[in-house]
Structure 1
Amino acid sequence: MRTSLFLLVFLFTTLNLSAQKPLEYKISFPNAVHHEAEVELLIPDVPAGPLIFRMSRSSPGRYATHEFGKNVYAVKAFNGKGIELTVMQVEGDVYSVDKHDGNLKISYTVFGNWVDGTYLAIDEIHAHLNMPAAFMWVPVLSGRPIQIKFNDLNKYNWKVATQLKPTVLTDTYTAPDLNYFMDSPVELSDHHLTSWTDRNPDNTEQTIRLSSHAIDNKEVVSNYAKMVERMVKESKAVFGELPRFDHGTYTFLQDVSQDNAGDGMEHRNSTVISDTQNKIAGSEEDLLGTFSHEFFHAWNVERIRPKTLEPFNFSHANMSNELWFAEGFTQYYGNLILKRAGFLSEKQYHGVLSGILNGVLNSPGASSFSAPQMSRRAVFVDAGVSVDRNNYANTFTSYYTYGAFIAMGLDLRLRSEFNLTLDDFMQAVWKKHGKTEIPYSIPDLQNVLGTLTNTMFAEDFFHRYIHGTEKNDYVKLLANAGLELRKAEPGKASIGNLRLNLRPTDGRNIVSAATVKGTAAYEAGIDIGDYISRIGNDDVNGRLDSILSKYKPGQSISVTFEHKGRIKTASLKLQESNILEVVENEKASPEQIKFKNNWLSSKIK
């Protein structure tokens, strides 16, 4: 009896879902030259009672709140007979219609003039559509299938590039629900499309596509695609396989223009990459960094997914404890993959490592706050907009850099202590939480590490370096690879990473960024907005480096500066420059060279 009842409920639910009529979007571009689009949303079978519809305030891949509703106007609603209804604006981005006849058409104008991974850009050259920035949605109908029609393609000679599922009509695409729709960016342009086939160990084939909207010709794009293909293979080698992409296809949506805001944004089966160069030709290797980072997200974030990002909230930003892993480990691998693929030289990769180490070891934020604490700050810093000054120079360390720092330490320790690698750890996490798509928490990551190594090591590592603020001994760890971590400017006097701007109106030197805790400038009471006139017996006049070159670390000299209209004099106790660098040890042993080669060499079989 229970089985029969279950089957009846299952069949009823299945039939009910299959009978749901899709929401139909149409977007047109009659005023593209002035960055406007006209959007219609047709809603059949509207539930009884008032219907709420709205714009998003967050976007997949972004962790801070954004105000997409500011770019929407001329909002109207009509019933099934075409009669205009009263629309009430409940909040800045939320609207309501009280009376309808079971069918509803919503129309509005949306403005967009910003090319990046989050916003919307429209002109006669292309329409760069990030869905949360462009399309209103109905919260109570988020489970319904969606169909979207792109008008005016022939008018502008545009083609469609997207991860959305195509139909028999070249201008119409579908999504199974709102979540997939919002996670599916679209590029409408006269782009070049290049593709290749990749085969997984189980012999399943998938298509990888590169859509490039750039002034370059097709030959340049095709040659660049071969570089991207090598990067894809090197990424695949970390995990041993590609994810199973929906519809068997993954698409890079690349837009190249000096007018763009540089960005990359991962999605389940695609990624948006907006480059700020004038063209691809001549900048191929520079552009690959974003490709490498974003493609690694196809595993780490899109399928190896933190519980704190599930379900994604389009009305408000999700806060996550795990971005040091989701973004930081991805940051580490983004550069490591380019090194393994041969797109970074030894010296260039040393520079990458130096940047990571300086970004954490010389950061007051990293000495006081843990990686999960920095991850939670993403709701404020991930392209978040505010007008007041902040104290991030002393309280924040990017979870990208912090996580890459931790990943480097774990990788080198696994190699030196367990004859394992971070690749082994990532594969274990992939099998446990990625292929199964079981969202993880920090304790889950610790458990995977404990199974791979031992419980004691995992507990100690997470206690000290994840939840705590201790740092691994990178001098010792890098020495295993024949690399030396040292001061880049030994004996050079410094008052801190002080940023001075010379004001042309009066020739005064204004401190343009917050001073860093522990530096000579900070201890002397110098703050952002102050004017520095003299150091020792010298007028500054933009000559800070030449003045400091006269002195040695440990010396104390006077500084004269103006703070809020008051002239002040203080003592600066000079310090040695704390900038670090990673260099090759010319006397590295064969064992050290072997260690380094195993770490940095290609893994493509």
Structure 2
Amino acid sequence: MITYRIDAEDVHAHLFRVTLRVPDPAAQQRLSLPVWIPGSYLVREFARHLSDVRATQGGEPVELQQLDKASWVASCSGRAELVVSALVYAFDTSVRAAFLDASRGFFNGTGLCLRVEGREAEAHRIQTGTLPRGWQVATAMRAVKVDAAGRGLYEAADYDELVDHPFELGTFWRGSFDAHGVPHAFVVAGALPDFDGERLLADAQRICEAQIAFWHGAGKKARAPMDRYVFLLNTAEDGHGGLEHRASTALLSARRNLPQRGRAETSDNYADLLGLISHEYFHTWNVKRLRPAEFARYDYTQENYTLLLWFFEGFTSYYDDLFLRRCGLIDTPRYLKLLARTITGVAATPGRQVQSVAQASFDAWVKYYRSDENTPNATISYYAKGSLVALALDLTLRRDGSSLDEVMRKLWKASDGGPIGEADIASALHQCGGRSYERELAEWVHGTVELPLQGLLYSAGIEWQSQPATIAQRLGLRVNESALTGVKATHVLRGGAAEAAGIAAGDEILAVAGWRLRRLDDAQRVMTPGEPAELLVARDQRVLTLRVTLPADAGLGAPVQLVADAKPGKAAQSLREAWLTR
């Protein structure tokens, strides 16, 4: 059986030693390391972290020729076991790669485990080797023979499964709960001593039970698609992110987001963490099993393109906070505040009029994960706008007597929890809504027209209120402000007053109308809307004088506030209750 031994070779140098054993190798055995990890759509070139790659058979050196950036061929002599060893540099604190220091270790198989080409369908094993004293191991991979700390031998049915089970290593907090008969484990690394683990478990359990019931019903016969599930949460001073897997998720969150003992309120930070948990858990169904047809089989050597990330990521982003509301973990005002934040963010992105969410899905490999100063002008987030497409479809379906909930379950049943295409989505919408939704898909998904959210929300008893815009929003600027760097422009939005004035990303805004600026909002005290003002900026060691006119209106878009109507009509009240609470 193909086996990988993972040793913490040098925690201070952040080096894993990975030893691959291949029984009965081919005469010219090809080996390769994935260039990306499913769920994160960017070629990350994991092979750049490999060094000291060597091979032996029976203790004798084997010629190992590198073919390209991530592939090798071993010239084997006979059928004796091929042993390939490599060092892997691991100092990536994200959820996508690998990390190792004296306090913690973490890895995804895509960054450590060479693929034995032609043998991917065979069972694979991971053996945890030398680790610092006292370290534990946590993973959702099936244990074959492990000790009480989880150190030992694990097995996966094939290579795809092997690299779909991340490992957490170190001294961490661990808790557990059951959700509809499925054991769930929760691992938290780096938590402060006042961390309220029992509350985190209780709240996560409510999310998991609600989502299992959403997909499979609340009855005793309902069965989730996994036998067990593991949350691997690493907390740090700063950071936020998650990556879904078939029976686990790797999460990164700031420590301040954890619940604290003795504090019953749900802070905004904790709500963000619960939303992340909800998002990644929903992916257990929507992308790990129900997935784009193009992902039926992953190609680990190159980009895997799809036009459907607006559905798999965007719709998941719609449901993550919605489940917090339906579980009672946040109330309606807070949910509407989160929704308004997304609406405001999309409205303040000129790229929404340039790129459709379908094209944004396709371009994820070169745009979403490689943002720069022009990103807001050229592209739109398939997460954010995709979630608003889901909202628009859900409220439209509810007015038609159905719901997006029904569509999701229809897709699950029709595909048997497997690959789907856009035609399947259109068919499920038609079957559930009783009419074609091709026009909505063409305009909202493949077009760049504005989504009719204000009217749809009004039909659910939600009032849309425009709020005063900040100076940055009125000028079409995004800035960083600090005592060290002052006011620095990070993005100049297309069509705004700042662009018209000649402000460029990277400019330090020094003064306006003769007054030194420490905060951009202070400019409103010395600028008269509609009248030009002198602006001093520093660019490349030069001080430039520009003339800028503060728009009298909201500029590129005012912030939105959503408020539940206290006395909605009967139909709106019924729709709102079904949407937010059932």
Answer whether TM exceeds 0.5 for this pair: yes
Change (3 A) 1:279 1:290: closer
How far, CA to CA, are the matches of 2:123 and 2:578 in structure 1? 48
Counterpart residue number, 1:280: 258
For residues 482-561 of structure 1, what are the structure 2 equivalents within 5 Å? 482-489=461-468, 494-499=474-479, 501=481, 504=484, 510-511=488-489, 513-535=490-512, 537-551=513-527, 553-561=529-537
- Please state which structure has a larger fraction of its residues in strand: 2
Residues 1:442 and 2:419 aligned together: no
Counterpart residue number, 2:397: 414
How far residue 325 of structure 1 moved from its aligned partner, in angstroms, is 0.6
Encode CA deviations 1:231-252: one digit per residue, 9 max, x unaligned.
Answer: 1122223323476434x11211
Counterpart residue number, 1:354: 340
Residues 1:91 and 2:91 aligned together: no
How far residue 106 of structure 1 moved from its aligned partner, in angstroms, is 0.3
How far, CA to CA, are the matches of 1:420 and 1:279 in structure 2? 36
Q: Secondary structure at the match of 1:239?
A: helix
How far residue 585 of structure 1 moved from its aligned partner, in angstroms, is 5.2
Counterpart residue number, 2:213: 237
Do the aligned partners of 2:367 and 2:379 also contact (CA within 8 Å) in 1? no
Change (3 A) 1:217 1:496: closer
Counterpart residue number, 1:6: none
Q: Secondary structure at the match of 1:58?
A: coil
| Equivalent residue pairs, number | 560
For residues 70-81 of structure 1, what are the structure 2 equivalents within 5 Å? 70-79=48-57, 81=58
How far, CA to CA, are the matches of 1:530 and 1:464 in structure 2? 37
Task: Say which of 463, 475, 479 aligns to 2:458.
Answer: 479
For residues 334-413 of structure 1, what are the structure 2 equivalents within 5 Å? 334-384=320-370, 389-413=372-396
How far residue 444 of structure 1 moved from its aligned partner, in angstroms, is 1.7
The letter of the residue matching 2:245 is H
How far, CA to CA, are the matches of 1:510 and 1:253 in structure 2? 37
Residues 1:39 and 2:21 aligned together: no
Do the aligned partners of 1:491 and 1:553 also contact (CA within 8 Å) in 2? no
The letter of the residue matching 2:171 is D
Task: Say which of 137, 141, 146 aligns to 1:164.
Answer: 141
The letter of the residue matching 2:297 is P
How far, CA to CA, are the matches of 2:508 and 2:135 in structure 1? 53
Encode CA deviations 1:80-135: one digit per residue, 9 max, x unaligned.
Answer: x2101232233333222224332210011112122321010112333211111122
Task: Say which of 204, 226, 229 aligns to 1:250.
Answer: 229
Counterpart residue number, 2:166: 185
Change (3 A) 1:210 1:517: same
Do the aligned partners of 1:220 and 1:281 also contact (CA within 8 Å) in 2? yes
How far, CA to CA, are the matches of 1:235 and 1:244 in structure 2? 10
The letter of the residue matching 2:134 is N
Task: Say which of 88, 110, 114 aligns to 1:136.
Answer: 114
Change (3 A) 1:26 1:341: same
Q: Secondary structure at the match of 2:229?
A: strand
Q: Could you list the runs of 5+ residues in structure 2 that have no partner in the other structure?
A: 261-268
Residues 1:195 and 2:176 aligned together: yes
Residues 1:109 and 2:95 aligned together: no
How far, CA to CA, are the matches of 1:567 and 1:168 in structure 2? 69
Residues 1:212 and 2:193 aligned together: no
Counterpart residue number, 1:69: 47
Change (3 A) 1:373 1:234: same
Q: Could you list the runs of 5+ residues in structure 1 that have no partner in the other structure?
A: 1-21, 200-204
How far residue 587 of structure 1 moved from its aligned partner, in angstroms, is 5.0
How far residue 362 of structure 1 moved from its aligned partner, in angstroms, is 2.5
Change (3 A) 1:475 1:66: same
Change (3 A) 1:455 1:580: same
How far, CA to CA, are the matches of 2:167 and 2:365 in structure 1? 25
How far, CA to CA, are the matches of 1:115 and 1:490 in structure 2? 36
Task: Say which of 441, 455, 462 aligns to 2:441.
Answer: 462
Encode CA deviations 1:545-566: one digit per residue, 9 max, x unaligned.
Answer: 2322455654444545466658
Change (3 A) 1:271 1:219: same
How far residue 157 of structure 1 moved from its aligned partner, in angstroms, is 2.0
How far residue 194 of structure 1 moved from its aligned partner, in angstroms, is 2.8
Q: Secondary structure at the match of 1:527?
A: coil
How far residue 54 of structure 1 moved from its aligned partner, in angstroms, is 2.4
The letter of the residue matching 2:330 is L
TM-score (norm 2): 0.89
Do the aligned partners of 2:293 and 2:420 also contact (CA within 8 Å) in 1? yes
Do the aligned partners of 1:263 and 1:274 also contact (CA within 8 Å) in 2? yes
Counterpart residue number, 2:263: none
Change (3 A) 1:498 1:271: closer
How far residue 426 of structure 1 moved from its aligned partner, in angstroms, is 1.3
Task: Say which of 157, 163, 174 aligns to 2:155.
Answer: 174
Do the aligned partners of 2:536 and 2:543 also contact (CA within 8 Å) in 1? no
How far residue 40 of structure 1 moved from its aligned partner, in angstroms, is 0.7
Do the aligned partners of 2:368 and 2:381 also contact (CA within 8 Å) in 1? no
How far residue 307 of structure 1 moved from its aligned partner, in angstroms, is 1.2
The letter of the residue matching 1:137 is R
Question: 175-184 vs 520-529, which deviates more?
Answer: 520-529
How far, CA to CA, are the matches of 1:594 and 1:399 in structure 2? 30
Q: Secondary structure at the match of 1:105?
A: strand
Q: Secondary structure at the match of 2:567?
A: coil
How far, CA to CA, are the matches of 2:552 and 2:359 in structure 1? 30
How far residue 490 of structure 1 moved from its aligned partner, in angstroms, is 6.6
Do the aligned partners of 1:502 and 1:541 also contact (CA within 8 Å) in 2? no
How far residue 332 of structure 1 moved from its aligned partner, in angstroms, is 0.8
Do the aligned partners of 2:242 and 2:249 also contact (CA within 8 Å) in 1? yes
TM-score (norm 1): 0.86
How far residue 268 of structure 1 moved from its aligned partner, in angstroms, is 0.8
